[in-house]
Amino acid sequence: MKPAAFEYFVPQEVQETLELLEQYGDEAKILAGGQSLMPLMNLRLARPKVIIDINRLQDLSSISPGAHGGLTIGALTRQRAVERSAAVRERNPLLFATMPLIAHFQVRNRGTIGGSLVHADPAAELPAVTLVLGAEFVLKSTRGERAVQAEDFFVDYMTTAIEPIELLHEIRLPGWRQGRGWAIEEISRRKGDFAMVGVATVLELDGHGSCKDARIALFGVGETPVRMERAEGMLRGKGVGGRTFEEIQKVVSDDLDPVSDVHASAEYRKEVGGVLTRRALEKALLRAREGRK
Protein backbone atom coordinates (compact mmCIF):
# COMPACT_ATOMS: atom_id res chain seq x y z
CA MET A 1 0.00 0.00 0.00
CA LYS A 2 1.18 3.46 -0.78
CA PRO A 3 0.78 5.47 2.43
CA ALA A 4 2.45 4.38 5.65
CA ALA A 5 0.04 2.92 8.19
CA PHE A 6 -1.92 5.36 10.32
CA GLU A 7 -4.66 5.33 12.86
CA TYR A 8 -7.89 6.60 11.35
CA PHE A 9 -10.63 8.63 13.03
CA VAL A 10 -13.85 9.94 11.53
CA PRO A 11 -15.30 12.39 14.05
CA GLN A 12 -18.97 13.28 13.64
CA GLU A 13 -18.83 16.54 15.62
CA VAL A 14 -16.47 19.51 15.79
CA GLN A 15 -15.99 19.03 19.55
CA GLU A 16 -14.91 15.42 19.00
CA THR A 17 -12.42 16.62 16.38
CA LEU A 18 -10.94 19.17 18.77
CA GLU A 19 -10.54 16.54 21.46
CA LEU A 20 -8.68 14.29 19.03
CA LEU A 21 -6.42 17.20 18.08
CA GLU A 22 -5.80 17.94 21.74
CA GLN A 23 -4.90 14.29 22.31
CA TYR A 24 -2.65 13.71 19.29
CA GLY A 25 -1.32 17.21 18.49
CA ASP A 26 1.34 17.20 15.81
CA GLU A 27 1.16 13.42 15.35
CA ALA A 28 -2.20 13.99 13.70
CA LYS A 29 -3.13 15.39 10.33
CA ILE A 30 -6.54 16.68 9.42
CA LEU A 31 -7.86 15.08 6.22
CA ALA A 32 -10.24 17.41 4.39
CA GLY A 33 -10.36 17.16 0.58
CA GLY A 34 -7.07 15.27 0.54
CA GLN A 35 -5.94 16.78 -2.76
CA SER A 36 -2.60 17.87 -1.30
CA LEU A 37 -2.24 15.62 1.74
CA MET A 38 -2.91 12.33 -0.06
CA PRO A 39 -0.22 12.88 -2.74
CA LEU A 40 2.27 13.63 0.05
CA MET A 41 1.22 10.46 1.85
CA ASN A 42 1.24 8.35 -1.33
CA LEU A 43 4.82 9.47 -1.92
CA ARG A 44 5.53 8.98 1.80
CA LEU A 45 6.77 12.53 2.06
CA ALA A 46 4.24 12.76 4.89
CA ARG A 47 3.75 9.87 7.31
CA PRO A 48 1.25 11.04 9.90
CA LYS A 49 0.59 8.58 12.71
CA VAL A 50 -3.02 9.69 12.99
CA ILE A 51 -5.48 10.82 10.34
CA ILE A 52 -8.52 12.76 11.47
CA ASP A 53 -10.97 12.70 8.57
CA ILE A 54 -13.29 15.70 8.96
CA ASN A 55 -15.44 14.97 5.91
CA ARG A 56 -18.47 14.11 8.06
CA LEU A 57 -18.51 17.53 9.76
CA GLN A 58 -21.51 19.00 7.96
CA ASP A 59 -21.35 22.21 10.04
CA LEU A 60 -18.08 23.15 8.40
CA SER A 61 -19.50 23.07 4.92
CA SER A 62 -21.55 26.18 4.33
CA ILE A 63 -21.44 29.57 2.70
CA SER A 64 -23.37 32.22 4.59
CA PRO A 65 -23.75 35.93 4.01
CA GLY A 66 -22.01 37.78 6.83
CA ALA A 67 -22.55 41.27 8.20
CA HIS A 68 -22.06 44.36 5.99
CA GLY A 69 -21.99 42.42 2.74
CA GLY A 70 -19.37 39.96 3.94
CA LEU A 71 -19.20 36.21 3.63
CA THR A 72 -18.50 33.41 6.06
CA ILE A 73 -17.28 30.22 4.42
CA GLY A 74 -16.95 26.97 6.34
CA ALA A 75 -13.46 25.47 6.08
CA LEU A 76 -14.73 22.19 4.61
CA THR A 77 -16.66 23.88 1.79
CA ARG A 78 -15.60 22.24 -1.47
CA GLN A 79 -13.88 24.54 -3.92
CA ARG A 80 -16.51 23.53 -6.48
CA ALA A 81 -19.28 24.72 -4.14
CA VAL A 82 -17.59 28.11 -3.79
CA GLU A 83 -17.22 28.25 -7.58
CA ARG A 84 -20.96 27.63 -8.02
CA SER A 85 -22.18 29.81 -5.17
CA ALA A 86 -24.54 32.65 -6.08
CA ALA A 87 -23.66 34.41 -2.79
CA VAL A 88 -19.96 34.39 -3.69
CA ARG A 89 -20.69 35.64 -7.20
CA GLU A 90 -22.72 38.54 -5.88
CA ARG A 91 -20.57 39.44 -2.91
CA ASN A 92 -17.02 38.74 -3.88
CA PRO A 93 -16.16 38.87 -7.59
CA LEU A 94 -12.44 38.31 -6.98
CA LEU A 95 -12.95 35.09 -5.05
CA PHE A 96 -15.54 33.99 -7.61
CA ALA A 97 -13.10 34.54 -10.49
CA THR A 98 -10.33 32.76 -8.62
CA MET A 99 -12.07 29.43 -8.11
CA PRO A 100 -11.94 28.11 -11.72
CA LEU A 101 -8.18 28.80 -11.74
CA ILE A 102 -7.60 26.27 -8.98
CA ALA A 103 -6.48 22.94 -10.41
CA HIS A 104 -9.04 20.98 -12.46
CA PHE A 105 -12.73 20.38 -11.81
CA GLN A 106 -12.13 16.80 -10.59
CA VAL A 107 -9.78 18.23 -7.95
CA ARG A 108 -12.14 21.07 -7.00
CA ASN A 109 -14.94 18.54 -6.48
CA ARG A 110 -13.00 17.27 -3.46
CA GLY A 111 -10.61 20.07 -2.57
CA THR A 112 -11.77 22.42 0.17
CA ILE A 113 -11.24 26.13 0.66
CA GLY A 114 -9.85 25.57 4.15
CA GLY A 115 -7.54 22.78 3.04
CA SER A 116 -5.89 24.95 0.43
CA LEU A 117 -5.39 27.80 2.93
CA VAL A 118 -3.97 25.63 5.69
CA HIS A 119 -1.73 23.74 3.26
CA ALA A 120 -0.42 27.21 2.25
CA ASP A 121 1.38 26.26 -0.92
CA PRO A 122 3.07 29.53 -1.91
CA ALA A 123 2.08 28.97 -5.55
CA ALA A 124 -1.62 28.54 -4.69
CA GLU A 125 -4.16 31.23 -5.53
CA LEU A 126 -6.30 31.27 -2.40
CA PRO A 127 -3.65 32.38 0.13
CA ALA A 128 -2.78 35.43 -2.01
CA VAL A 129 -6.44 36.21 -2.64
CA THR A 130 -7.35 36.07 1.07
CA LEU A 131 -4.40 38.36 1.72
CA VAL A 132 -5.65 41.12 -0.59
CA LEU A 133 -9.22 40.62 0.60
CA GLY A 134 -8.27 41.07 4.26
CA ALA A 135 -9.78 37.73 5.25
CA GLU A 136 -9.95 36.50 8.80
CA PHE A 137 -9.42 32.86 9.80
CA VAL A 138 -11.36 31.45 12.72
CA LEU A 139 -9.37 28.75 14.54
CA LYS A 140 -10.83 26.49 17.19
CA SER A 141 -9.34 24.22 19.82
CA THR A 142 -10.54 22.71 23.08
CA ARG A 143 -9.02 25.78 24.74
CA GLY A 144 -11.15 28.26 22.84
CA GLU A 145 -11.43 30.19 19.64
CA ARG A 146 -9.32 32.88 18.03
CA ALA A 147 -9.39 34.85 14.82
CA VAL A 148 -6.20 35.45 12.84
CA GLN A 149 -5.87 38.01 10.07
CA ALA A 150 -4.65 36.74 6.71
CA GLU A 151 -1.53 38.92 6.95
CA ASP A 152 -0.53 37.09 10.14
CA PHE A 153 -1.61 33.65 8.96
CA PHE A 154 0.94 32.73 6.29
CA VAL A 155 4.20 32.67 8.20
CA ASP A 156 6.60 30.55 6.16
CA TYR A 157 6.87 27.94 3.42
CA MET A 158 3.74 25.79 3.78
CA THR A 159 3.49 26.99 7.37
CA THR A 160 0.65 28.94 8.90
CA ALA A 161 -0.09 30.40 12.32
CA ILE A 162 -2.35 27.44 13.08
CA GLU A 163 -1.25 25.39 16.11
CA PRO A 164 -1.19 21.57 15.98
CA ILE A 165 -4.21 21.38 18.29
CA GLU A 166 -6.24 23.88 16.26
CA LEU A 167 -8.80 23.37 13.52
CA LEU A 168 -9.55 25.98 10.87
CA HIS A 169 -13.27 26.40 11.32
CA GLU A 170 -14.28 29.13 8.92
CA ILE A 171 -13.03 31.97 6.76
CA ARG A 172 -14.60 35.40 7.11
CA LEU A 173 -14.43 37.84 4.26
CA PRO A 174 -15.25 41.51 4.81
CA GLY A 175 -17.89 43.16 2.65
CA TRP A 176 -17.02 44.31 -0.82
CA ARG A 177 -16.62 48.08 -0.93
CA GLN A 178 -18.07 50.27 -3.64
CA GLY A 179 -15.53 51.64 -6.07
CA ARG A 180 -13.30 48.64 -5.78
CA GLY A 181 -11.73 47.03 -8.81
CA TRP A 182 -10.00 43.68 -8.78
CA ALA A 183 -8.02 41.27 -10.92
CA ILE A 184 -6.21 37.97 -10.78
CA GLU A 185 -3.60 37.02 -13.36
CA GLU A 186 -1.39 33.96 -13.56
CA ILE A 187 0.85 32.02 -15.88
CA SER A 188 0.98 28.24 -15.75
CA ARG A 189 2.24 25.72 -18.23
CA ARG A 190 -0.99 23.77 -18.39
CA LYS A 191 -4.41 25.18 -17.52
CA GLY A 192 -5.09 24.28 -13.91
CA ASP A 193 -1.50 23.64 -12.91
CA PHE A 194 0.14 25.60 -10.14
CA ALA A 195 1.09 29.06 -11.33
CA MET A 196 4.74 29.76 -12.10
CA VAL A 197 3.86 33.36 -11.22
CA GLY A 198 0.56 34.96 -10.34
CA VAL A 199 -0.89 38.12 -8.83
CA ALA A 200 -4.10 39.13 -7.13
CA THR A 201 -5.04 42.76 -6.61
CA VAL A 202 -7.77 45.03 -5.37
CA LEU A 203 -7.79 48.72 -6.17
CA GLU A 204 -10.19 51.11 -4.51
CA LEU A 205 -11.00 54.55 -5.87
CA ASP A 206 -12.53 57.46 -4.03
CA GLY A 207 -15.24 59.72 -5.45
CA HIS A 208 -12.64 61.82 -7.31
CA GLY A 209 -11.04 58.84 -9.00
CA SER A 210 -7.86 58.75 -6.98
CA CYS A 211 -6.67 55.64 -5.24
CA LYS A 212 -8.01 55.12 -1.74
CA ASP A 213 -6.50 51.70 -1.17
CA ALA A 214 -4.46 49.22 -3.16
CA ARG A 215 -3.40 45.73 -2.31
CA ILE A 216 -1.17 43.56 -4.42
CA ALA A 217 -0.09 40.02 -3.57
CA LEU A 218 2.00 37.74 -5.75
CA PHE A 219 2.11 33.97 -5.57
CA GLY A 220 4.61 31.42 -6.81
CA VAL A 221 7.45 33.83 -6.07
CA GLY A 222 8.51 33.14 -2.49
CA GLU A 223 8.02 31.15 0.69
CA THR A 224 4.57 32.66 1.23
CA PRO A 225 2.29 34.85 -0.86
CA VAL A 226 4.09 38.20 -1.04
CA ARG A 227 2.50 41.63 -0.55
CA MET A 228 4.09 44.34 -2.69
CA GLU A 229 4.13 47.15 -0.15
CA ARG A 230 6.36 49.59 -2.01
CA ALA A 231 4.16 49.30 -5.10
CA GLU A 232 1.00 49.70 -3.03
CA GLY A 233 2.45 52.87 -1.48
CA MET A 234 3.00 54.34 -4.95
CA LEU A 235 -0.74 54.02 -5.61
CA ARG A 236 -2.41 55.10 -2.38
CA GLY A 237 -3.70 58.65 -2.33
CA LYS A 238 -2.77 59.32 -5.94
CA GLY A 239 -4.42 59.50 -9.31
CA VAL A 240 -3.54 56.28 -11.06
CA GLY A 241 -3.06 55.19 -14.64
CA GLY A 242 -0.71 54.01 -17.34
CA ARG A 243 2.50 55.83 -16.30
CA THR A 244 2.27 54.75 -12.65
CA PHE A 245 1.54 51.18 -13.67
CA GLU A 246 4.65 51.06 -15.84
CA GLU A 247 6.74 52.27 -12.90
CA ILE A 248 5.08 49.69 -10.68
CA GLN A 249 5.96 46.95 -13.11
CA LYS A 250 9.65 47.84 -12.61
CA VAL A 251 9.32 48.17 -8.85
CA VAL A 252 7.62 44.80 -8.52
CA SER A 253 10.27 43.13 -10.69
CA ASP A 254 12.96 44.72 -8.51
CA ASP A 255 11.33 43.84 -5.19
CA LEU A 256 10.68 40.20 -6.01
CA ASP A 257 13.24 37.72 -4.76
CA PRO A 258 12.07 34.37 -6.15
CA VAL A 259 14.03 31.16 -6.53
CA SER A 260 14.71 29.20 -9.68
CA ASP A 261 13.21 25.75 -9.92
CA VAL A 262 12.27 23.18 -12.52
CA HIS A 263 9.20 25.23 -13.52
CA ALA A 264 10.80 28.65 -14.09
CA SER A 265 13.96 30.63 -13.44
CA ALA A 266 14.13 33.39 -10.85
CA GLU A 267 14.79 35.90 -13.62
CA TYR A 268 11.65 34.80 -15.47
CA ARG A 269 9.55 35.09 -12.33
CA LYS A 270 10.82 38.61 -11.61
CA GLU A 271 10.13 39.79 -15.14
CA VAL A 272 6.74 38.15 -15.49
CA GLY A 273 5.69 39.12 -11.95
CA GLY A 274 6.11 42.77 -12.93
CA VAL A 275 4.26 42.40 -16.22
CA LEU A 276 1.35 40.49 -14.66
CA THR A 277 1.05 43.12 -11.92
CA ARG A 278 0.77 45.90 -14.49
CA ARG A 279 -1.88 43.94 -16.42
CA ALA A 280 -3.78 43.18 -13.24
CA LEU A 281 -3.76 46.84 -12.20
CA GLU A 282 -5.01 47.92 -15.61
CA LYS A 283 -7.93 45.52 -15.37
CA ALA A 284 -8.63 46.47 -11.77
CA LEU A 285 -8.69 50.14 -12.67
CA LEU A 286 -11.22 49.56 -15.46
CA ARG A 287 -13.42 47.58 -13.10
CA ALA A 288 -13.13 50.21 -10.37
CA ARG A 289 -14.22 52.93 -12.81
CA GLU A 290 -17.13 50.77 -13.99
CA GLY A 291 -18.15 50.33 -10.37
CA ARG A 292 -18.05 54.11 -9.77
CA LYS A 293 -20.45 54.86 -12.62
Partner 1 sequence: MSSRRAITLTVNGKSYERLVEARMMLADFLRGELDLTGTHLGCEHGVCGACTVLLNGEAVRSCLLLAVQADGAELLTVEGLARGNELHPLQKAFHERHALQCGFCTPGFLMTAFAFLKETPTPTEAQVREAISGNICRCTGYLPIVQAILQAASESGESSGKSVSTPPARR
Q: Of these, 12, 62, 106, 159, which contacts partner 1 (CB under 8 A)?
A: 106
Which C-beta is closer to partner 1: that of 4 or that of 155? Answer: 4
Q: Of these, 18, 21, 30, 51, which contacts partner 1 (CB under 8 A)?
A: 51
Which C-beta is closer to partner 1: that of 44 or that of 250? Answer: 44
How many CB atoms within 10 Å of residue 41?
Answer: 20
Which C-beta is closer to partner 1: that of 68 or that of 191? Answer: 191
Q: CB of 34: closest distance to partner 1 in angstroms? A: 5
Residue 154 CB contacts under 8 Å (≥ 6 apart), including other chains:
120, 127, 131, 160, 224, 225
The reply on whether position 89 binds partner 1 by CB under 8 A is no
Q: CB of 264: closest distance to partner 1 in angstroms? A: 18
Give the footprint of partner 1 on residues 123-152 (CB under 8 A).
none
- How far apart CA 109 and CA 105 sit, in angstroms, is 6
The reply on whether position 39 binds partner 1 by CB under 8 A is yes
Separation of CA 149 from chain center:
12
Burial level of 179, CB count in 10 A (0-12/13-18/19+)? Answer: middle
The reply on whether position 265 binds partner 1 by CB under 8 A is no
Separation of CA 218 from chain center:
11
The reply on whether position 168 binds partner 1 by CB under 8 A is no
Asked if 260 and 289 count as a contact pair (C-beta separation under 8 A), the reply is no
Residues near partner 1 (CB under 8 A): 1-8, 10, 31, 34-35, 38-39, 42-43, 51, 53, 55, 80, 103-107, 109-110, 190-192
